Amino acid sequence: MSTSERYAKIWEGGLRGDLREILYDVDTLQSTILDMGEQITRDYAGKEPLLVAILKGSYPFLADLARAINLPLTVDFMAVSSYKGTKSTGVVRILKDLDRSISGRDVIIVEDIIDSGLTLQYLRENLRGRGPASVEIAALLDKKVVRAGKPNEDMGAKYVGFECPNEFVVGYGLDYNGRYRNLPFIGVLREEVYS
């Protein structure tokens, strides 16, 4: 049995039933992340990037992306939070800061999703103030449609996996009140689950 067939079997029932539809299945996610890793490997040739993963949502993405980049690299973690249920509180709180200085480093911020853009705008400015050589963004999903016509419509993320529809999505790190991060695919939660 292939890995994706085994995952399909594991997720035949249970939590999978809380999803209305699957948007990105295991193979689709993995193949897009492998492409992104190849592109980063080319773009950063001769450099040693620092992947800054934004916890908690980015943990599966970081694990897969880092294994698709054939370069010496280091990882560090920041934990920030702004969502309660399906809504941004509008306030980004740093729950855990980086362990090391990023001065002179080529930083790639690794995020699961750009939604309102608030989290990344805050983080990018915060990290730029610490004297890195460069700061780029790798986001698995960009829910760009919610920022249409706004000044931050284009967040300038160098690496984006998918443009996501305007739905509350869960899985592959993305949560609803802490749950569903362990799904190996990304889907749309049934409204009955959160209303």
Ligand X SMILES: O=P(O)(O)OC[C@H]1O[C@H](OP(=O)(O)OP(=O)(O)O)[C@H](O)[C@@H]1O
Q: Cβ closer to ligand HPA: 64 or 112?
A: 112
If one asks whether residue 113 binds ligand HPA (CB under 6 A), the answer comes out as yes
Q: For ligand HPA, which stretch binds (CB under 6 A), given 17-25, 67-75, 122-130, 170-178?
A: 170-178
Looking up tokens 């443009």 gives 163
**Close Cβ partners of 11 (under 8 Å, ≥ 6 residues apart):** 183, 184, 185
Among 7, 83, 162, 168, binds Mg ion (CB under 5 A): 83
Element (H, E) at 8: helix 3-10
If one asks whether residue 25 binds ligand X (CB under 6 A), the answer comes out as no
Q: To the nearest 10°, the Cα dihedral for 108, 113, 114, 118?
A: -90
The binder of 169, among ligand HPA, ligand X, Mg ion, none, by C-beta within 5 to 8 A per type, is ligand HPA
| Annotated active-site residue in 18, 115, 154, 175 | 115
Residue with the shortest CB distance to ligand HPA: 115
Looking up tokens 């284009």 gives 154
Q: For ligand X, which stretch binds (CB under 6 A), given 19-27, 36-44, 106-114, 156-164?
A: 106-114
Element (H, E) at 128: helix 118-128
Which residue in 173, 105, 162, 167 sits closest to 139, CA to CA? 162
CB 96 within 8 A of CB 79: yes
Is 115 tagged catalytic? yes
Angle at 181 between CA 170 and CA 112, to 5 degrees: 70
Least Cβ distance, residue 1 to ligand X (angstroms): 32
Q: Which residues inside 59-98 make contact with ligand X, applying CB under 6 A?
A: 81-83, 88
Q: Which amino acid is at 2?
A: S
Among 8, 56, 76, 126, binds ligand X (CB under 6 A): 56
Q: Please report, as ranges, the residues that interact with ligand X according to CB under 6 A.
A: 54, 56-57, 81-83, 88, 111-119, 175
Q: Please report, as ranges, the residues that interact with ligand HPA according to CB under 6 A.
A: 83, 113, 115, 168-170, 174-175
Show which residues are catalytic: 115
